[in-house]
Amino acid sequence: MRIGIVCPYSWDVPGGVQFHIRDLAEHLIAGGHDISVLAPAADDTPLPDYVVPAGRAVPVPYNGSVARLRFGPWSAARVRSWIRRGSFDVLHIHEPATPSLSLLACWAASGPIVGTFHTSNPRSRAMVAAYPILQPALEKISARIAVSEYARRTLVEHLGGDAVVIPNGVDVSFFASAEPEPAWLGRSRGGTGGPTIGFIGRIDEPRKGLPVLLEALPAILRAFPDARLLVAGRGDADDAVRALPAAVRERVEFLGMVSDRDKARLLRSVDLYMAPNTGGESFGIILVEAMSAGAPVLASDLDAFRQVLGGGSAGELFTNEDPGALAAAAVRLLGDHARLTALGEAASRHVRRFDWSTVGQDILAVYETVAAGAAAVAADERTGRPGRPVGE
């Protein structure tokens, strides 16, 4: 199939949606499909061959974060040109309600359209207010996918309609086969030093939860003075630890932005992966990556995280935004090697449902359904019979 995929967020500032689109595109290309991705990016940005840049993005505060979007007449013209040249069998638009390339593509496109909804925002006044503008575009979508039950609920409550839930995918074998890094190796993973705790996320984005983890760190260090916190992600490291005592700061190691390879090695090395996110999460791809690496996970009890972790069977949960609860759970787990081992083994079994071998086939089945429906409608029109709705 020839498939066009629209990414609403800037390709050169990585995030969960971009990673999902990248991995989906590469999975489909490996399966013999012809893929083109349209994404905000400056024309001189190094990009994979399958990505078409649509201009530099503009940062916009959104859902507790900063979304880098591209909109306007010039972008609309580029979207129309890309769709016209593509002659796609299916157009797959991510976050169709986002005022970026995705909404522009919804307005411009015709034919089989699949929309994937990633956002979980149960109280979005902006989405409710924008509904009259969005409705004509969203009605053109032939099939809707939500990455979690919470993203589906946001869609139903704010925009109407429904969606099939297909989670974000991960190449499980990539993380499971990564070689641990000796310098990061924790005690329960065979290291000779103290326990290591991992955190991956944007340092200067409060909803990723690093401030909660840093507030809990002194209590963890009182129980395990030789423990280390390894932090990977973009942001000002000095500012993040400024309020901590010097002795605590010495136990935090900032790795900066890491490659996919080093992320996998980090997750294969730590005794415990922490996800203290405070809200705004519809899925939790980093949890799936950690589980793929066999890392025991301790996460805030967000609804989306609880679902990804199988209700707590594949990772432990603590009370959201409660540093004391985080510290108590971390101390208990780091002192219980058998429990850490059991969590890692449970995670490795649970995560198989998120592998691209499963997720990719589910998405491809949606493509095939809407393409077949469109072909049936076209055949009816050629023979003069009344057309049938797509999917029937």
Residue ranges of alpha helices (H) inside the chain are: 16-30, 73-86, 101-108, 125-138, 149-159, 172-176, 210-223, 237-241, 246-249, 260-269, 285-292, 303-308, 323-334, 337-350, 356-383
Residue corresponding to tokens 């015709």: 110
Domain that residue 35 falls in: 2-169+355-383
Q: How far apart are the two ends of the chain, measured CA to CA in Å?
A: 21
The span from the CA of 346 to the CA of 132, in Å, is 46
- Kindly state whether residues 144 and 178 are assigned to the same domain: no
CB 291 within 8 A of CB 297: yes
- Kindly state whether residues 122 and 182 are assigned to the same domain: no
- Kindly state whether residues 348 and 361 are assigned to the same domain: no
The span from the CA of 378 to the CA of 392, in Å, is 13
Q: How many domains does the chain have?
A: 2
Contacts of 135 (CB under 8 A, 6+ apart): 159
User: Would 389 be classed as within a structural domain?
Assistant: no
- Kindly state whether residues 201 and 324 are assigned to the same domain: yes
What is the predicted pLDDT for the residue at 390?
38
Q: What is the pLDDT of residues 205-249, one digit of tens each?
A: 999 999 999 999 999 999 999 999 999 999 999 999 999 999 999
Q: What is the pTM of this model?
A: 0.86
Q: What is the pLDDT of residues 76-117, one digit of tens each?
A: 999 999 999 999 999 999 999 888 999 999 999 989 999 999
What is the predicted pLDDT for the residue at 68?
75
- Kindly state whether residues 202 and 309 are assigned to the same domain: yes
- The CA-based angle 123-125-131, given to 5 degrees, is 115
Residue corresponding to tokens 């032939």: 142
User: Would 88 be classed as within a structural domain?
Assistant: yes
User: Would 52 be classed as within a structural domain?
Assistant: yes
Give the CA dihedral 259, 263, 266, 267, nearest 10 degrees. Answer: -170
| Tokens at 20, concatenated | 């999902």
User: Would 48 be classed as within a structural domain?
Assistant: yes
**Domain at 365, CATH number:** 3.40.50.2000
User: Would 390 be classed as within a structural domain?
Assistant: no
- Kindly state whether residues 150 and 230 are assigned to the same domain: no
User: Would 391 be classed as within a structural domain?
Assistant: no
- Kindly state whether residues 343 and 256 are assigned to the same domain: yes
User: Would 388 be classed as within a structural domain?
Assistant: no
User: Would 260 be classed as within a structural domain?
Assistant: yes
CB 41 within 8 A of CB 54: yes
What is the predicted pLDDT for the residue at 280?
83
| Tokens at 255, concatenated | 């790795």
| Tokens at 106, concatenated | 């919804």
What is the predicted pLDDT for the residue at 42?
83
pLDDT in 10s for each residue of the chain, 392 residues = 999 999 999 998 878 899 999 999 999 999 999 999 999 988 788 999 999 999 888 877 665 566 777 888 889 999 999 999 999 999 999 999 888 999 999 999 989 999 999 987 765 555 555 667 778 888 999 999 999 998 999 888 888 889 999 999 999 999 999 999 999 999 999 999 999 999 999 998 999 999 999 999 999 999 999 999 999 999 999 999 999 999 999 999 999 999 999 999 999 999 999 999 999 888 999 999 999 999 999 999 999 999 999 999 999 999 999 999 999 999 999 999 999 999 999 999 999 999 999 999 999 999 999 999 888 877 766 666 554 443 33
- Kindly state whether residues 179 and 302 are assigned to the same domain: yes
- Kindly state whether residues 282 and 233 are assigned to the same domain: yes
> Can you name the residues that pair with 145 across neighbouring β-strands?
116, 164
- Kindly state whether residues 190 and 246 are assigned to the same domain: yes
- Kindly state whether residues 29 and 76 are assigned to the same domain: yes
- Kindly state whether residues 164 and 181 are assigned to the same domain: no
